[in-house]
Structure 1
Amino acid sequence: MASSALRAELDCSICLSTYTDPVMLRCGHNFCRVCIDRVLDTQDQSGVYSCPECREEFQVRPVLMRNLALRNIMENLLSTQPTQTETGIFCTYCVDSPVPAVKSCLHCEASLCDKHLRGHSKSPEHVLCDSSTDLEKRKCSVHKKVLEYYCTEDAACICVYCSAGEHQRHQMEMPDETSKKKKKKLRNIHQKLITKREETEERVQSLEERRRKAQEKASGEAERVIAMFIDIRRRLDDLERKVLSEISRQEEQRSLSLSALIQKLEIKKAELSMKMRHIEELCNMTDPLTVLQEPDTGDLCDPEEGGGDEDTGGHDRQRHDGDDRDVAVISDTLHTLCDIISGIRSGIYVEGPADILLDVNTAGNNLHISDDLKIVTWTQEKQNRPKTAERFQYNQVISRRGFASGRHYWDVEGRRSGECSLWMAGMCYPSVDKRGQQSLIGYNYKSWIMCRYNNNQCSVIHDNKEIRIPDKISTNRFRICLDYEAGQLSFYELCDPISHLHTFTATFTEPLHAALCVVECSIKILGGGRNWNYPS
């Protein structure tokens, strides 16, 4: 076995590893062929060549001579070195006592232990990696040389021969430098991903909280509905028992009354039968004196006939009174059922489909809006609301919601408070002007309005065109009906029967909002609904 001193003499001074295909310069120093070729390649640009060991200069690139004797020694030496076995990767240079390698030198293509790693780790040319790394993956697939450069144009790792070949005119970088740039870019991406992940986690938590609240709300609503229907069933059962009990009571009372009447009539019937038999006996008598001595037969019939009429009349009155009681019970039952149904609707639907609520943000400063957003009242006292783009300059206000489809209606009632009072009710687009003369509802092409004057006169206005209603109005209650798809807006007077006043026809292009205007008066929104059906 070679000693450690002999092994030191067999190391290349360039790669600090055992000679591989050793060659000799004219000065007598030996190197690995690959190592000295790489050094001479770097000296080509200056045109001056020198020995890396003794620094002897050569005018022309020296010829490399194979050292056959040294080559034979290296082959015999390498034949005794340990190779990778099932126990792991061993140090290339620990021949006498093999030690597991901890690093691999890409420059020398050797596996090293801590002892032989010292010289390689001090040289920047010697790139180290984990001993478990497959070195074949770090070699050029074409030239089988270590990948030493990075081509930025082709984004590929290349060897020294590739750099002098197809990548000759490309921009080159050292792998370490390119790796640092890529790591910096990856760190930035990683930080952005962390931020996005945190944002995603926050959104997930927010959605989970919303889902939890939705589940709690649904559970609460389910419990409320269950309790409501339990109460409805209880009320219906109570109502059923009450009605059946009333029917039984009336039936029993009627039965007793009829039984008494039947008994009385049976007595009358017996009396009449007895009188009939007496009359028949008189008719069969042959003695005229006996017949003439009997009382007049008319006296026998008159009282009974009157009593019969009285009894029959009483029976008829009793029958009619019973019918009236039945109707009263049914009417009371129906009213109770209506109350229950109304309770169901109000319990399930908090706000109706066509509920109209006024938008305070659009109300003029001389308008007072009630807390339930249903009544608008003119007032001389300024409300000191902020001046915004959506607030009307004049005494006008529109509703919060609009209708962009379907058929809807809503009712209003006007109330006077001055001698010069008038009010307007209708619909408009939300994009109607809020300031200037053109903002008055009815006096632009974006609003349709009905105007109620103090002298019981009425008119409809659109696009500054007024149409007078010829008849005087007898009520302050009106209905506005919208058929959006048909392009019709109709006004009705809520009298008995309902009276049609006017219908506007247009092609609606925006949602329509309720619009109100008051001067020395107030308007109350009474309610609304869907799918109205009145004659035009």
Structure 2
Amino acid sequence: MASADLRDEVTCSLCTDIYTDPVTLNCGHSFCHECITSTWDFQSSHPDKSAEHKVLEYYCCEDAACICVSCSLAGEHRGHQVETLNEASEKKKEKLRNILQKLTSQREEAEKSVQNLEELRRQVQGKAAGVTEDVTALIRNIREEPEALEKQVLNEISRQEEQVSLRVSDLIRPLEIKKEELSRKMSDIEKLCDMMDPITVLQEKESDRDDYCDAEEDTEEDTERRNIMTHDVGDLDVDLISVTLYSGLAGIVTRIKRQCRTLGASDMSLDINTAGNDVCVSGDLKTVSWSGLDQRRPDTPERFQYSQVLSSRSFSSGRHYWEVKVSESGRWMVGVVYPSIERRGWKNRWFKNHYYVRHDSKKTRLPHPPSCQRLGISLDYEAGRLSFYELCEPIRHLHTFTAVFAEPSENSLTLSVLAGFCSNNHILIIIIIVLKP
């Protein structure tokens, strides 16, 4: 009996002979290498033949293994959920197709994102090229204008120097002639002085001439004549040179400011009809401070109930820039809003030594504490971009809002400055540059 069992273990179930070059499949069964190879070849070329030629025809779902009939009926996979190889293969293919579809969709999304990023990079590169050209042109003009001014001032100095030099030459010419005449006279007199014969000296009538004797008299008139001569020569007009230089520099600065103000708005003023009754507005309508006292202004539909004020101008297109000076103490808010300010607005706020930004009731605390009292606000209406900057050294970007700046009934933005709700009587000084429809 034992001998029969041992023989079964070394016998190929396909050829019923002792194993020749045995191989073991994944399911644990062994066959002759030639037998199992020929059986697989036969299955591939005759898929419709009888099941006795089929070896691995099932798939165990629990163990994820290809098995034969024996394994599914009596082996270690007995009782497991099994499927035919074709069924299991088709199910796996279906899963793989779904995965492939998802991967294809993800790849398309990734490719679209890459294209969008590439387009963004091209736009940024184009914009950078344009800005670079503008900056280069501005700096070139800034360089050229002082050089032109330097040339103008140096030419003025040279002109004055040449003018003085010509006057000096005109005055020197007759003096040189006079000097030669005086030298001749001096030589004659020296000869007489050197003569030893007194008779000869006394008989020389030339020495008694008036023009010889004139040298003995140096009157005040002669001194005054020399002084007038020196005055006529003149000197460099340093005041004129300075005025030319400083006026030229002032003109350069003015032109540079004008070029740099391409983002700037024209003169802005506050609309006192919108100012809350607890804020003071300066006479020039540029500064607002919190007072805490009722200003008893007339009640108008435009007036705010709170410590807030708007300007008398609005913009519905273009690029604009403002600077606002704020108080070091107290609390304040500055922002850009629609006319429906009660509902929406973009604000930058300082409170308890921190910056906060707020939009649509969503408040965000910025990481950097305030470091100066000047803010820059840049609005690009078409691009839908509103940026806040702290004008310290160097300039620091605080926050940028992005939105489509439009409203169904009103097409204008309003820059609103809110004088803070101070309870400690700190004065809130703000140089107001604000917008209002």
- Output the TM-score relative to the length of structure 1: 0.39
Higher relative contact order structure (alpha carbons within 8 Å, sequence separation ≥ 6): 2
- Greater per-residue helix proportion: 2
TM-score by length of 2: 0.46
